[in-house]
Amino acid sequence: MLPDRLFFNRLADAAKAETLPRFRTGVGVANKLETGFDPVTEGDQAAERAIRALIEETFPDHGILGEEYGTVGADRDYVWVIDPIDGTRAFISGLPVWGTLIGLYHKGRAVMGLMDQPFTGERFFAADGVTHYRGPEGARTLSTRDCGALSEATMFTTSPYLYHGDIKTKFEAVQDKVRLARYGCDCYAFALLAAGHIDLVIEAGLKPYDVGGLIPLIEQAGGIVTDWNGGRAEMGGEVIAAGSAALHAEALAILRG
Q: What is the pLDDT of residue 99?
A: 98
Percent of the chain scored above 70 by pLDDT? 98
With contact defined as beta carbons under 8 Å apart, do 142 and 132 qualify? yes
Radius of gyration of the chain (CA): 17
- At 108, is the secondary structure helix, strand, or coil? coil
Global confidence as pTM: 0.95
Maximum CA extent, the chain: 49
Distance CA 148, CA 178 (A): 12
Q: How would DSSP label each residue in 136-152? A: TTEEEE------SSGGG
For the stretch 168-222, pLDDT in tens is: 999 999 999 999 999 999 999 999 999 999 999 999 999 999 999 999 999 999 9
Helices marked H in 72-114: 88-93
With contact defined as beta carbons under 8 Å apart, do 243 and 196 qualify? yes
Distance CA 246, CA 132 (A): 24
For the stretch 45-78, pLDDT in tens is: 999 999 999 999 999 999 999 999 999 999 999 9
